[in-house]
Structures are given as C-alpha cells and as structure tokens.
Amino acid sequence: HRMPTRFADSRDVMACRRTMTQRLLAVCVLALVTLPGALGRSVGDASVRAPALRGADARATLRSSASAAFQVLPGLLPIAPSFTSSKKAPLRPAMGRLFIAQPATRARLQNVRMVQQEAAASVQTAQETSLEAVRRIFETEGAISSREELDAILEKTELPSNPRMRTGKLPNGMAYTILPNAVPGGRFEAHLQIMAGSADETEAQQGMAHMCEHVSYMGSRKRERLFGTSSQTNAQTDFHHTVYWAACPTLRPSTNAPMLPLALDALLDVLEARFETTRVEKERAAILSEAAMVNTIDYRVEVQLLAALHSENRLHRRFPIGLIEQIKAWTPSQVQAYHKSHYRPNNAHLYVIGDLEPDEVEDMIGKMFSHLPARDPPVYLPDEGVDAVTLKQINSFFPPINHEWMGTRKHGADEPKVHIFQHELMQCASVHIFAKFPVEPIRSLADYRRALIKRLVVVAMQVRLNVHARGEPISMVEFSHLDSPREACAVCALDVMANADNWQEAVQVVAKEIKKMALFGLSPSELQRCTSALLSDSEQLASQGDRMSNQEQLQFLMESVSCGHTFMDPFQLQLATQLVAQTMTLEEVNEEAATMCFHMAKFGEGGAPMPSSVVLCAPTSVTVKPEEIIDAMRKAAAQVVEAPPEVIVPDSLISKELIAQKMLEHQPVVMRTERIDDEDYPVTGVCARRMSNGIRLNYHYSDSESQRGHLRVTVPAGRIAETGKYKSGALAVGARTMQEGGAMLGLSREQVELFCVDHLIMAEFACNEELLYMEFVFPTSKVTPGENVVTGFEGVMQVLHAVLSGDFLWEEDAFQRAKQAFVQTHQQVSKSMEAAAAEHLLGAMADGDPRFLSVSPEAIEALTLADVKEAVRDHLKTSNIEVSVSGDFDRDELERLALYYLGTVAPSDSDAEQLAVLEKGTAAFTAPSIPPMRMLSNKDLYIEIKDSDPRAVAYVAGRAPNRWGTMADGTRALANRGEGDVAPTSKTGMVKNLLSGLINKNAASEGQVDYRQNALYPCISLMLLQEVLNRRLFSTVREKKRLTYDANFHLTGFERIQGGWYLVTVTAKPEQAQKALDACKETLQAARTWDPITRDNLQSAAYELVSKHQGALQTNRYWVDLMSGLQLDAIPDKNIDYIRDFVPLVKSIQVGDVQEMLETLSIDQEGMWSCIGSSGHTSSDGPAPGEDVDEDEDLHGRSSQMAIGRRGM
C-alpha cells in the first residue's frame, strides 16, 4: 500500500534511489518506444490512489529509519538502453538448480514460444498491407513526391494490434483482454477494472468508491483462499476506476492444482460482494487508519496541485480517500447501493496475462462471469454538478468530467489561475506550471509520429534543464508531457523546486532555458541524440520480446487501453518507430518545441494563451501574493536570450592510445580466484576473477533484460568508517559530491553528462552505513553509430576507470550542492513525523552515535572539500574494491574491458602488501559493531511534531542479529544448532569446507553435512522469520483488532556490521497509537510464548520467499545484489552458497529453526524499545475556540487563490 507517484513504477525492481527528475526522464524515453501514454501520470498499486508526490517536499524521499537518503547523480541520466546483435554468442550457464522448472511449466513455456514464433510470422503477413507496405514505399526511390503525399500515407496506415492479445466481450457487456506472457514462468496476473472511481461519487458518497473496494476485496473470504499459495493480492481506487488484482502461480505449490479458478473466483466475488455489518465495520476502521497514514505533507501538497489544476471540475473535491465524517456515518446498505450502481459487468474490464493458454482462460471467463446481469448506469441529479455530456461518454475509462483546455484563457482578457499553498512542514518552495490538453488516441502512424515528436522535445528539454539549470537556487526541475487517463487529459507540466528565499531567481533560470527552446529549438546534435535513443530503445524492446514481465506488459496494456491507444507487440513497435524516425525533420520538431513552450515563453504577452494553472508551494515563513508570482513569471519570460552554444561531446572518454600506453605500463592480468571456483559456474552462473592490481570482479550472464547491464562497485567504507580522522558525514557527503559533479579526464561536467546521455548510462554514487558504492545501469551495445563510438558498457568502464584512477575532478560547487542536499534532508527528517520518530528512537538505542543518524547541519558545516575527498580517496584502494556485473554481454568482451579499464588502474599497494592482505584474509579486517545500548529505565519514548493535522506513528524496536546471524558481541545466532560460533578464517577456507550437497538433513551418508552448518542457514532463517512476523502483525493488529491500516516488521540486515535492530512500524489515529503499539508488542511476545510459529506459517513464508527470489532472478539488479560482497573479506560470511543453495535451504528450514531465531531478538519487556510520534493542533498552532477557519483550511494548510473570471465582468 505504497503512495504511488506519477513518474515511477511502484513495483519497480530497481531499488536505486533516484531523483524525481531522473524518473521522469526514464519514463519519457521509455514512452518514446513503448506505447505513447502507456506510462501515464500515475501508476502503481495502493489501496487508495493517493495523489502523486509532486510538491516541494515530495522530491526528497525520507527513509523511515534514521539513515540519510541519497539521490542519483542528476547529470548521469537514466535513459533506457538499446539493442544491437552480439558478434559472438556469450557463455551461458547450463541448467542447474537455479533454473529447474516443473515438467508442466516447461511444456507451457515451449508452447508459448511456438505460439510466439507463429505470431511473428502472422505479424509479417498482417503488416503486408500496413507497416511493411509503408516500408517498401519508403525504400522505393521516387515513390513519395510531396510532403502531403507522405502525410496521407501515414494517416491511413493503422497501427497493428499485438497478435498475441485476445480481446472479447461477454453477452452481458463485460470486456476482457488475454495476453500470453512467458515471464516469469509459471505465474499469471488477473486484474479486474471497474470503471468507477471517486469522480463517480455523489456529494453524499465522498470516499465510497474506496470503501466499496475495501469491503468487496479486502474483506473477501474467497480472496483469503489465495493466502499461503505464493499469491499477492491488492486493490486500488483512483479518480476514474477501481482495480482489483491477483498475482498467482499457475499451479498451487502444495497440490499442483490450477490457480486460475481461485483467482477468478476471488474477482467474481468483488462483483457479487456482500455487505455484512461486521465486514463493513472492520474495513471502516482500516480506512480511517489509512486516512491518517496517507495524510503526509507530500499528500497534502499533491492535493493542492490537483485541486488547482482541476478547479473547474469535480476532481478538485473528489479525492479517493474521501471525507472522514461521511465515512464514519455510512450504513452497509448505502455502500451496497453504490456497489449495485457501478459494479456492473457492462462497466468492467478483466485483464489476464501470464503463463496460460488463451483458450482455457477465455472459456473459464465465459463460464464464471456470463451469469451476471447487465444494468443501466446511474443517473446523476442536476445538483450533483455532472454535465449532461462528459468525457466519460467519449471514453468509458475516463472520469465523468470536462476540462477548460489550455488556450481557452488569454493574457489581456482573463486573469491567470494562480494558487498559493503554504505549510509549516515545508522546507523549500516549488513552482508548478500546468497546461491541459485532450488525450490524443494513437492508432495510426501519423498519430504515433506526432506523439514521438512531443516526447523528443520533452527529453531534449529535460536534458537541457538537468545540465544547464542545476545548482543554486534550484534543487530540482522537471519538464513533462504525459497522458493521464485518471484525469482524462494530457498534462504538460514544469515543476521547479528551489530555496524558499529566492524562488524568483529559480523561475528566471528555468524560464531562460524554456524560452531558448521555444525560440531556437533543438540543435541537430540534440535531435540526433534523442532520435538515437528512440531507435535504440525500440530495438532493445524488440530484442526483449516475450521477456518483459507480467507487471510491465500489464502496465502498458491497461494504460494503452484506457487512453485509446493501439497496443502493439515489440516487433511491430520497432518497425513503426523506424518508419516514423525517417520522416521527422528538425523544423517539425522545433515547431512542436515552440508550441509546447509557448504558454511559458510568452507569459504575460497580450493574446498569448495562459497556462491552465500556476501553483506556488512554500513554507509559512515566506510572504508572497498571487500578483508577485505573476510579476515574477512575466519578468522571467521577458528575458533576452541567445541560442545555446553547442557542447562538443566526445565519442569516447579515453583514447585507444592512452589505454595502450597504460597496458604497456601496468601489464595487467586477469586471474582466477579460489574463492569461487569456475566449476560452480554451470550451477550458479557466476564467474569470479581478480585483477593483478587487487580489484575483484564478479560477473553473471543474463539475457532476461536484453542488451542491458548493471554494474556495482562495492567498497567496505560506509558511514561506520566515519571515525578518527574522518569527520562525521565525510564519506556520505563525499559520495554525494561525486554524484553532483562529473568533470573528469580534462572534460567538463556538461560534456561528461551528455556523453552519458548519448550512451544511455545511468549512475549513482552513494554511501550507506556499511558501504561506499557506485551503481551503473547501461546498454551493453552501441547506441549511436560511428566507428569511434564506444558501447554503453565500455562507456561505463571508462567513467569507472577515471574515478578509480584519480582523474575525477572534485569541484567546490558540487561539494556545496551536496552539503545543501544533506542540510535539506536533515531539516525534512526533523519535520517528518515518521522520520523524526524513527531518528529519535534509533538515536536512543544507538546512544547518539552519529554514524547511524542523519548528518547534522553542524557536522556538514564543519566539512571541507579536502575532508570529503580524503575520506573517499583513502578507501578507494584497489585491494579494497569489488566490481559485480550482470547483463547481456559477451564473456570475452567483458574480460577484455576489465583488463583495459580495471586492470590499468594503478595498484594502491605494492605486490608484497597485496599478498599480505590475501594471506591474512578475514583476519585483516576487524568487524565493526552496532553501539552498545544505554541502560535506561524508560525505553518508551514520545515525540511530537508541530502540524495542522492529527496523525500518529508507533515504532517497536530492539536488538537483532545481522544478516548472517552475528550478534553485536560477535557470537553466532543458532550456533548451538550448527558447528558453533567460530567464524571461518577466510572465504577461501569457507568455500573449500562447504559442499554443495548440504541440503538433505536426513541424509544417511556420513559424507554429507547437516543443512544447519551452511553459512546461509541463519540468513534464511531470519528472512523466513521476517515473513512470518509480517503476516502475524497484519492479521492481528489490522484484521483482528482493527487498530491500523498496516503494520510491518523490518530487519536492518547489516552485512559487515555485527548485530542490528528490528523495527516494527504501525500507523494509527492518535487516540489509538498506544493500543496499536501494545498490540504489536503482544504479537511479537505471543509468537515467542503461547502462540508459537506453526508449520503452516512457515510453509506460507517459504512459498513467498522462493517466489520473490525466482521472480527477481530475471533482473540484473538482483544478480548484482547476490554477487556483491562475494569476494570481500570485509563480508566474511557471504559466499557462493548464497546463490547456489538459496532455494534448497529455504525448503529445508524447520519450524524449530525459525522459532529459535526468534529467541535472538530482544522482544522481552526489558529489551524492547518503543516510540510514538504524533502531530496535530497544539496551543501554539491550532485555532482558538470559536475562531473562524479559512474556507480552504480543510485542505490541510493555508492556501489562497486569485479570483478567477473575465476582466470587466
């Protein structure tokens, strides 16, 4: 039940922290070649579709723990990678334990592949009269004689639908879409979309769509039948629809019975829901708790933005969470009446996607849903404010509203719509300029061409803003143009976040770049850059073929259907993109750029179109009036600008000559390592190498993400190392300084950033408690043509070489931006109820150790550029560096690049010193520990945050082992069940002493070792325990006691640091916070005493853990997670067992193992800590008795709005 954002996939497996700007750019470029509009302005899953996080304070994501959050390097932009064929086949691992599939699953996968081959052939035949015909025309010299003739051809060429997709409609009007998909194998998803959301509610039903969602599904007994089957279920309510979904294995793990009937029956129960009093009351309590949980400052900012943007229609007062007083008062019969009006088969669309046979799915849909009777839609009374004709009648997926489109209002004739929102919890100011347009369905080549031109402009504009409009006073800026079926419009938006004191200067800087784009457009090199990204991405998507996950496919499919776009398969899409790219000219693209920027570049000029709305969000300390905002924008638009200079971007950062010289100088060698034997490769798919300078290398081949790669540099040098000569925050701020910089090898930051853009490289430099790391996502092939152009993979290696060789330029302005980011983060922690309470609790448990808390402003101020540079450089020793890579690459090419760019980094230590490190092994490292806890009589803490709205969060915490079962004092958890608590002296010895056949605990052979002796045993036991306790907390605190919307259990999971903490988080209404906290404590203690863990608990947790693991194996990111640390002696407990024995060990763990692991947690009364954080009106910030409240005070803050109307009326 996460808060969704407009610019990110809420189920994104990429766990890298990104800035909002980068998320937008990634979406924009992906949208270039997926389906225009497929990535709408809000995606994801949550019980209630809260507004997207789009305001000033929404830009900085705070960890609920106290550690600092880090963002991705703004200059190294994330653009989806491209595809070109490899010259030689890479080494692929043989089928081993990680790749076992059941016979039935293998047969289905084989059938799916055969169907796909047949579909590809049918695609070619079907395109003979459309895309292929256009291709032949384009290839025929003189076939097109004029622009008009070309336009006519594009207009009449319809885009072909995905040939594997099957659509239909039952006699009762219920629509369905079925899409076979092979990834992940043996799983499917079913989504039921009801075309009714909060915008369909009457004045007396505000929040009823969400209430209906809860009662229909969250309280469904048939949904509960899916529990314990490795299935996930959820539902979401938005303006325009309510969606229920189930993601399941095709066969039940325990019986191999088909799961599709159970999943469809649970969705059928939604349409036939019963509204018993007990069911309604249970969900009412959950909703009231949820309303308090979602009401963060981010949520309130987004409420203001959407309310201002849609002030002329009912969206501005129809947020899905609803009105609390109405929610408290509804009877079951009233909720059932809403259900009867909207939950009609002729108002529903069922999507089924996955490893299933379409014929069987279609037959089952007909049998299970055909009996439902169709009914007429509800009729709204005149006083409800619903127009007789709305956009919903044009597109049934849209809400029943109309819009005032951009261009309706003109400067000189109308007053601009300006809205101000201020709140004491806000730290920065943000300016938002919106323009609304109709959603344009994409069904022909001409439609597709127009959409791609828009997206080219968006990407080019965002790149410019990222490169040229960064730094004081701006902390974030993004430009977007996205289709939004939830709002029944396309929105062009400019969002700027800046220091509150000089937001006007930020507007000036951004407006200058916008005006340059409007007047001068893209340069030829910019057009080439964006077009190359478009073509490369379409080729990569085609190469991905059927390997896109169910979630990705379904996301694109549902958004496309909702917007009225044609849903093509990747091969059709690639051909359409190639055809369209040939027809786009610089003049046409620049005409579109002028049109998209016109309302901002010409702001204030008589007769020019006005933006749909302008919103300023700021702290209450800022004094501002609407007229001042208008004046600032007019002045910004009136600036005189010149065409931007062309930045020369190199094809390669490092010349071949320089590398050849370094090869001669260092004569590097790539060596095998005993730590991971190549004999394990057919089973694990992992190779390990060591460079002669000491750098370790792990790699894994995978084509699941075709022509993509993921690389991580891991250095054991996190904030735990900020002691002695290294000042507090030095490593954290140092990593962020590298992220904010980019100049290297004699090239400017702009040149390096554009090099990364050209090669579609995304990078992150960050530091957590334990590690300094560098993360890269990239294409493994060439993106742009040219003899001297390097691949994305080689580009990453060149950047890495420059950083590790000391050729990275540490810049003062980058350091200042990094410091400012940490100051803002600390301020936001202090004003966020959740983050402040977590920091208060962790600070007490860690005895105030600053290494586990956010970096204080005093510590930041004490740092110098020399301090942070020294802290980072001292730890970047070649013998202390591990590089892990997963992706679709050639093995020989990878080792060649490693030799050239990693091997030629000058060794930090002499040969003798390196040998000494290797001989000492683990003994060379002293493992750090969490600080000892203070002995306090009162461990129940409380903190109050000043806020206008009452909210509360409660935490329960205590000591726990680290990921490998090591306690803070160095003893081993579960040692009495294994070989004892003596750690191995080195990873070499560990690997040699552990056998791959450890798993059978009942083995009769003396040569086999008990599974409890596996180094992974404590780790897996902890993971299973976490799953079990999460289910217990949800079942007890939410379902039985109705005290919260959600409660969860989390382990810190340190890998280097000895010991750790557990943390239980529960949100509740302030008056129930103590009860919710006590219920969490009781749940933990009950699992230890009178209600111990059962076999069913463990089995369900094991199914879930294996399912997550096997699904994640399809991603490069997860493989890098698995490999990182395998060769680091600073992480002695991680070895190849972590990959090889994961699934067998999960299946071998017994109830007693998990129960004994529970004993290692300090969940007794003396060992538990707790903290309640609350906020709400106090004597200093609430209205006095009888005092009047502003009209807009119910929008959770202070807001003002300029009068809207025509002049002179």
E-strand ranges in 308-408 read 348-354
Per-residue confidence at 1085, pLDDT binned at 50, 70, 90? very high
8-state DSSP, 250? S
- Per the DSSP assignment, residues forming a β-bridge with 941 are 1171
pTM: 0.85
Of 30-39, 793-802, 873-882, the least confident: 30-39
By DSSP bridging, strand 696-701 and strand 882-887 are: parallel
pLDDT at 1188 over 80: no
SS3 953: strand
Altogether, the residues listed in the chain come to a count of: 1209
| Average pLDDT over every residue of 1176-1180 | 48
Task: State phi, psi for 573 to the nearest 5 degrees.
Answer: -65, -40
> Contact at 8 Å (CB) between 772 and 874?
no
Higher-scoring residue by pLDDT: 229, 982: 229
Per-residue confidence at 913, pLDDT binned at 50, 70, 90? low
Q: Quick: pLDDT tens for 443-497.
A: 999 999 999 999 999 999 999 999 888 788 898 999 999 999 999 999 999 999 9
pLDDT at 271 over 60: yes
Q: Quick: pLDDT tens for 17-64.
A: 233 233 233 333 333 333 332 222 332 233 444 343 222 232 232 222
Q: At what angle do helices 586-601 and 524-544 cross, to 10 degrees?
A: 110
Ordered strands of the 429-437 beta sheet: 474-484, 489-498, 429-437, 613-618, 418-422, 1198-1201
Task: Give the integer Cα–Cα distance in Å for 851 and 726.
Answer: 11
| Average pLDDT over every residue of 1092-1101 | 95
> Contact at 8 Å (CB) between 190 and 267?
yes
Residue showing tokens 């076999």: 1095
The pLDDT value recorded for residue 917 is: 55
Q: Which of 189, 201, 213, 1104 is catalytic?
A: 213
What one-letter code names the amino acid at 304?
Q
**Measured between alpha carbons, how far apart are the two ends of the chain, in Å?**
48
pLDDT at 440 over 70: yes
Q: Which of 189, 201, 283, 882 is catalytic?
A: 283
Residue showing tokens 């490769």: 681
SS3 490: strand
| Average pLDDT over every residue of 935-962 | 92
Task: Give the integer Cα–Cα distance in Å for 565 and 123.
Answer: 18
pLDDT at 760 over 80: yes
Residue showing tokens 């991603």: 1115
E-strand ranges in 369-456 read 418-422, 429-437
Residue 229 neighbours by CB under 8 Å, 6+ apart: 248, 249, 252, 253, 254, 259, 262, 1103
> Contact at 8 Å (CB) between 346 and 309?
no
By DSSP bridging, strand 772-779 and strand 882-887 are: unpaired
Of 230-244, 504-518, 982-996, the least confident: 982-996
Q: Which of 1016, 933, 937 is nearest to 974 (CA)?
A: 1016
The pLDDT value recorded for residue 384 is: 86
> Contact at 8 Å (CB) between 722 and 871?
yes
What one-letter code names the amino acid at 146?
S
- Scored b (16 or more CB within 10 A) or e, 700-724 reads bbbbbbbbbbbbbbbbbbbbbbbee
Q: Quick: pLDDT tens for 496-551.
A: 999 999 999 999 999 999 999 999 999 999 999 899 888 888 888 888 877 788 99
3-state per-residue secondary structure call for 677-738: CHHHHHHHCEEEEEECCCCEEEEEECCCCCCEEEEEEEECCCHHHCCCCCCCCHHHHHHHHH
Cis peptide before 716 (omega within 30 of 0): no
> Contact at 8 Å (CB) between 1050 and 1060?
no
- Per the DSSP assignment, residues forming a β-bridge with 480 are 493
> Contact at 8 Å (CB) between 882 and 698?
yes
By DSSP bridging, strand 418-422 and strand 1198-1201 are: antiparallel
Q: Cα 373 vs. chain centroid, distance in angstroms? A: 40
- Scored b (16 or more CB within 10 A) or e, 127-161 reads beebbbebeeebeeeeebeeeeebeebbeebebbb
- Cα separations in angstroms, 611 against 433, 517, 787: 7, 17, 46
Residue showing tokens 């990593």: 735
Q: Quick: pLDDT tens for 86-138.
A: 333 323 222 222 222 333 333 333 343 344 444 444 444 444 448 999 999 99
Task: Give the integer Cα–Cα distance in Å for 231 and 246.
Answer: 7
Task: Give the integer Cα–Cα distance in Å for 469 and 636.
Answer: 14
Two tokens, residue 626? 């609407």
- Cα separations in angstroms, 1078 against 163, 950, 1024, 1073, 1177: 56, 20, 24, 9, 25
E-strand ranges in 38-155 read none
Task: State phi, psi for 984 to the nearest 5 degrees.
Answer: -65, 150
- Cα separations in angstroms, 56 against 327, 425, 739, 878, 1100: 30, 11, 21, 41, 41
pLDDT at 82 over 90: no
The pLDDT value recorded for residue 920 is: 56
Q: What angle do CA 917, 922, 926 make, to 5 degrees?
A: 100
Q: Quick: pLDDT tens for 1008-1037.
A: 457 888 888 999 999 999 999 999 999 999
Instruction: Give just the sign of the alpha carbon dihedral 325, 326, 331, 332.
Output: negative
The pLDDT value recorded for residue 118 is: 46
pLDDT at 3 over 50: no
8-state DSSP, 899? I
Mean of pLDDT over the chain:
83
Instruction: Give just the sign of the alpha carbon dihedral 1191, 1195, 1197, 1198.
Output: negative
The pLDDT value recorded for residue 386 is: 87
8-state DSSP, 46? -
Q: Quick: pLDDT tens for 887-896.
A: 999 999 999 9
Two tokens, residue 1136? 């190849």
8-state DSSP, 961? -
The pLDDT value recorded for residue 840 is: 95
- Cα separations in angstroms, 257 against 114, 229, 250, 261: 25, 11, 8, 10
Q: Which of 1106, 1045, 1018 is nearest to 228 (CA)?
A: 1106
Longest dimension (CA), the chain: 97
Of 214-218, 342-346, 611-615, the least confident: 214-218
Two tokens, residue 2? 């996460």
- Cα separations in angstroms, 416 against 212, 377, 395, 406, 1162: 39, 37, 30, 11, 60
Residue 559 neighbours by CB under 8 Å, 6+ apart: 35, 37, 38, 39, 40, 43, 483, 485
> Contact at 8 Å (CB) between 168 and 176?
yes
What one-letter code names the amino acid at 1000?
N
Residue 1104 neighbours by CB under 8 Å, 6+ apart: 230, 1027
| Average pLDDT over every residue of 287-314 | 94
Task: Give the integer Cα–Cα distance in Å for 935 and 1011.
Answer: 38
pLDDT at 254 over 90: no
Q: Which of 1040, 1105, 1081, 1097 is nearest to 1164 (CA)?
A: 1081
The pLDDT value recorded for residue 383 is: 83
- Cα separations in angstroms, 958 against 942, 1051, 1060: 16, 10, 9
Question: Is 213 part of the annotated catalytic residue set?
Answer: yes
The pLDDT value recorded for residue 934 is: 76
Task: State phi, psi for 628 to the nearest 5 degrees.
Answer: -70, -35
The pLDDT value recorded for residue 977 is: 57
> Contact at 8 Å (CB) between 952 and 1069?
yes
Q: Which of 633, 821, 665, 643 is nearest to 737 (CA)?
A: 821
pLDDT at 307 over 80: yes
The pLDDT value recorded for residue 783 is: 87
Task: State phi, psi for 24 to the nearest 5 degrees.
Answer: -60, -45
- Cα separations in angstroms, 252 against 186, 226, 1143: 10, 9, 17
The pLDDT value recorded for residue 34 is: 31
